[in-house]
Homo-oligomer: A and B are copies of this chain.
Amino acid sequence: MLRTTKTEFPVDKVRRLLEPGPIVLVSSAHKNATNIMTMGWHMVIEFQPSLVSCVISSANHSFEMIRRSRQCVINVPTVELASTVVKIGNCSGRDVDKFAEFDLTPAPATQVRAPLIDECYANFECELVDASQVKKYNMFIFEVVQAHVATAPKYPRTIHYRGNGEFMISGENTRRYRKLFRPEML
C-alpha cells in the first residue's frame, strides 16, 4: 500500500472510507512547520457539503496548528503502517519532525497548505468550517474540499482502535446484504 497511485475521489463519498471507523493520521502545516497526529475520534456528519467532525485534544501540538491555520488533511493508513501510527501517537511535534522521523512523504495538496501523507490509502483535504465546539469539547468541524484515494486495492485493510493497545483490523467486505436495501436507503 506504500506510495500507490491515487485518483481524485468525490468528496460526498468519503463515508466509504471514514464511516467504517479507522484510525486516521491528521497532517497539518503552520508557520513553515508540519506535523502529524494519530486520531480515533471522528465521524461524517453531512454528505454535501462533505462535513466531518472530530476531536483533537488541546494537549496535542497539532491542536493549535490546526486551529490557527484552519486546515488539515485526514489521511487513512493501512495495516502496513500500524507501527508507525502508534509511534506517531507516542511523540509530540514539539520535539520531532514526524515526516522525517518516520520516513513519510509529504505530498502537496491542491486546496490546502497541509501536506498529504503519500503512504496513506486516502487523503482528504479539509478546511475548518466550524470551531464553535472547540472550547467545550475540542470538537472541530471540517469540510472535505478535495479527496484522493488509491486506485488499488479496492478495499484497504484499515486499523481500528479499541483502547488499551488493542487494534481491530478490518476484515471481509461484502455486498451480500445489498439486495435487502430499499434503493433510497443505500
Residue positions of A touching B, CB distance < 8 A: 13, 15-17, 19-22, 40-46, 51, 53-55, 82-83, 86-87, 89-90, 133, 137-139, 141, 155, 157, 160-175, 177-182, 185-186
Q: Indicate which residue in B46, B55, B173, B179 contacts A45 across the interface (CB closer than 8 Å).
A: B55
Query: How many copies, total?
Result: 2
* Structural contact, A186 and B173, CB atoms closer than 8 A: no
Q: Indicate which residue in B90, B155, B179, B186 contacts A168 across the interface (CB closer than 8 Å).
A: B155
The A interface, classified by DSSP as helix, strand, loop or mixed, is mixed
List 21 contacting pairs A-B, 8 Å CB cutoff, sorted by A.
A15-B40, A15-B163, A16-B162, A19-B40, A19-B161, A19-B162, A40-B44, A41-B44, A46-B55, A86-B180, A87-B180, A133-B133, A157-B171, A163-B186, A165-B177, A165-B178, A165-B179, A165-B186, A167-B173, A167-B174, A170-B171
